[in-house]
Amino acid sequence: MIERDDLRAAVAAGVVTEAQAARLTAMSEERRGIRAIMGPSDEPFELFRGLNEIFIVVGLTILYFGWLAVTGLTIFNNLGAAPVSVVGLSIVALFAIVAAAQYFTIIRRMVAPSIALACLAGLSLFQMGLGFASIEDATIGAKATITSATVFTGLLLYWWYFRVPFTLALIGAAALAFCYSLSLANGAAVLDLENAFLLSAEGPFALITIALGLAALIIAIRFDLSDPHRVTRRSANGFWLHVVAAPAIVNTVALTLLEADTAASNLLLLAFLLVIALFAIIIDRRSFLMAGAGYAVALSVIVLEEGASVVILALGFGLVILGAKWEAIRGWLLAGIPEFPGKDRLPPWTASTGKDTS
């Protein structure tokens, strides 16, 4: 570990400047402080670092929608404006957003304004995609493909430059929209929202959702394994990808089994939820548990009917205990699991014997 004396020696030797040494010290103390106030079982999650960031977000939001009002544009309705004008105005908005992100994200390293600017970039890219799609007299599927492809590509470039972890959640949503739109462009029926996540329904939408959820999960786990102590931005990238992956996978499978409403499907749903719970504990991510809790309640109501209240009470109690004793339960579980590839790169745990396996 580099100590303050090492930094002073580096400054004296001309390896780093005094300003660079000061920034390194500040960043080190900030990261050490974040880990110090977190328990070993905590999952890092940060949306803002103070009221000033919220104040800036409010200002950015008002500024953006003021821009839409002045230009006569909205997100879904261009009020008769020519498509080329829509594209041009969207590009101007994107330049302004990138300039603001250069200051708030790169220089000030603010969390909430960075998230807000990523959202505004996505809205402007959506507006630009609609403009591109309106230039040609295309079908609904083709227009949706052009729009979603514009948003996906633009957000991917935005994340590549600014590295705002929340952007990955937006990219996941854009990828889902792009795959759906490709299906529409190739003749699939218009998406029926009521049955969209059912594997038994016609159309490829449920399979697309699961495939993208699995892809997001694989990438998220790669980020997690590269930062098991969760002190870098890679962990935050993994967090937001898990937020995308969990509902995409759990919703599709659980809704399909719940819709079948047979004894076999209910048993399969129970087994699936248990597997999801174990998986969430092993990888130390609570998003899958949060996605599955609602289906556990629904399953209790359907199967037990009048007796469901006691089970729901027990489920709530179990979740509270799991949250309170997460580290101990996880340590006991991982201590009993045989070695497997990547186990040594999971977030550290302490076995029930007290031996730290990290």
pLDDT in tens, the chain (358 residues): 566 666 677 777 777 776 676 666 666 655 554 444 455 556 666 777 788 999 999 999 999 989 888 887 665 555 455 777 788 888 999 999 999 999 999 998 898 999 999 999 999 999 898 888 877 776 777 888 889 999 999 999 999 999 999 999 999 999 988 988 887 766 555 555 556 667 766 667 788 888 998 999 999 999 888 888 777 788 889 889 988 888 888 878 877 877 777 888 878 888 888 888 888 888 888 877 777 777 677 767 766 666 677 778 888 888 888 888 888 888 888 888 888 787 778 887 776 544 444 4
Task: Report yes or no on 8 lying in a domain.
Answer: yes
Q: For 312-357, give the DSSP string.
A: HHHHHHHHHHHHHTHHHHHHHHHHHSPP-TTGGGSPP-B-TTS-B-
How far is it, in rounded angstroms, from Cα 354 to Cα 23? 38
Task: Report yes or no on 5 lying in a domain.
Answer: yes
CA triplet 346, 349, 352: central angle to 5 degrees? 140
Task: Report yes or no on 7 lying in a domain.
Answer: yes
3-state secondary structure of 72: coil
- Token look-up 């996941």 returns 172
For the whole prediction, is pTM greater than 0.75? yes
Q: Which domain holds residue 8?
A: 1-37
Count of domains observed in the chain: 1
Task: Report yes or no on 283 lying in a domain.
Answer: no
How far is it, in rounded angstroms, from Cα 289 to Cα 294? 9
Task: Report yes or no on 27 lying in a domain.
Answer: yes
Residues in the chain: 358
